[in-house]
């Protein structure tokens, strides 16, 4: 009983319970058909949301108003850059991934420079940046028909005993992110800034540098996500990142990270990503329209924010 109470006290457990309930409802509707395949598919698709969700989580943890709205455009441009650099050649896979990573990191760095130089809210700076990135992406990637190298496409879809390899690697990455958040100076500085930016500054935290690194990290993760998506879906597309604007924020909020800043929850990002993917699968199985799916997702996010409304970070 003590173990059960301890688990219930963890905010991330609720997202996993939600995912489990949605999965059970779906297999009950289908009579158990495709239960295992549904888990495999959920893990495969959740990976991409988790990667950008971790970056968004660090940004949101910086405090109220901090959010990266340029991620969808970032993902689209990075996917085109990666595919063009790889040019269908297996020997260029690493170079293409580095190019996508550098492209995303540059976008994240520019996002913060806009915030710092123009003294405008992050939501405005990153949204404005996304329009510029989209324009570049359209001129650079429109009509791009380059397929990923066969080895890269196979890797992005590789499974071991029904478990996607990308999911295994992403779990290892999230463990590293959790360690960085709780044990490293950088992660503790992010939490301190989110709890009280002035107190963090007085304590010797280089606020500007930490915020710069955080937005750059978010951009870099968006870039690598774009390359992996292009490999998984076997081609780049200017719209390939569109769904990750809402999803990257949703998994952070549903996963237990405080929108007031100063409190992050890494395991919850995984639970929330699985929950959203399985929810979409369930609604598709039930024949629900796209509009209703978006409405339900929005209502879930509002409900979680409302439920967590009493938990304010100390200012």
Counting DSSP H helices and E strands in the chain, the numbers are: 14, 2
pLDDT in tens, 136-177: 888 776 666 778 999 999 999 999 988 999 999 999 999 999
Higher-confidence position of 286 and 8 = 286
> Quick one: which of 43, 58, 60 has its CA closest to 169?
43
Mean pLDDT of 236-264: 87
- What's the pTM value of the predicted model, to 2 decimals? 0.89
Most confident of the ranges 85-99, 271-285, 301-315 = 85-99
Q: Which residue has the higher pLDDT, 194 or 5?
A: 194
Nearby residues of 227 by Cβ (< 8 Å), 6 or more positions away: 78, 79, 82, 96, 97, 100, 101
| Nearest-angstrom CA–CA distance, 54 and 234 | 24
Q: What is the pLDDT of residues 281-310, one digit of tens each?
A: 888 877 777 778 778 777 776 776 666 544
Tell me the residue length of the chain: 315
């Amino acid at each position: 009983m003590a173990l059960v109470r301890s688990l219930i006290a963890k905010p991330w457990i609720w997202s996993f319970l939600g995912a489990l309930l949605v999965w059970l409802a779906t297999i009950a509707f289908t009579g158990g058909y495709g239960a295992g395949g549904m888990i495999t598919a959920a893990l495969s698709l959740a990976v991409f949301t988790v990667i950008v969700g971790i970056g968004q989580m660090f940004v949101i943890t910086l405090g109220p108003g901090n959010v990266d709205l340029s991620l969808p455009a970032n993902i689209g441009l990075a996917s085109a850059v990666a595919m063009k650099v790889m040019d269908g050649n297996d020997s260029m896979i690493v170079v293409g991934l580095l190019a996508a990573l550098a492209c995303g990191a540059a976008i994240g760095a520019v996002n913060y420079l806009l915030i710092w130089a123009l003294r405008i809210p992050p939501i405005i700076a990153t949204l404005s940046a996304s329009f510029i990135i989209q324009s570049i992406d359209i001129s650079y990637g429109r009509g791009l028909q380059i397929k990923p190298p066969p080895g890269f496409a196979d890797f992005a879809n590789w499974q071991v005993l029904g478990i996607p390899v990308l999911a295994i690697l992403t779990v290892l990455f999230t463990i590293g992110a959790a360690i960085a958040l709780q044990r490293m100076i950088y992660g503790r500085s992010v939490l301190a800034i989110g709890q009280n930016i002035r107190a963090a500054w007085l304590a010797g935290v280089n606020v500007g540098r930490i915020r710069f690194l955080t937005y750059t990290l978010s951009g870099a993760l968006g870039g690598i996500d774009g390359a992996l998506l292009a490999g998984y879906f076997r081609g780049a597309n200017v719209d390939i990142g569109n769904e990750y604007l809402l999803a990257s924020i949703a998994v952070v909020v549903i996963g237990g990270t405080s929108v007031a800043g100063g409190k992050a929850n890494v395991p919850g990002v995984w639970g929330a990503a699985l929950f959203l993917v399985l929810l979409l699968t369930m609604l598709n199985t039930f024949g629900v329209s796209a509009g209703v799916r978006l409405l339900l997702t929005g209502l879930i996010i509002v409900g979680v924010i409302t439920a967590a409304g009493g938990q304010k970070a100390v200012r």
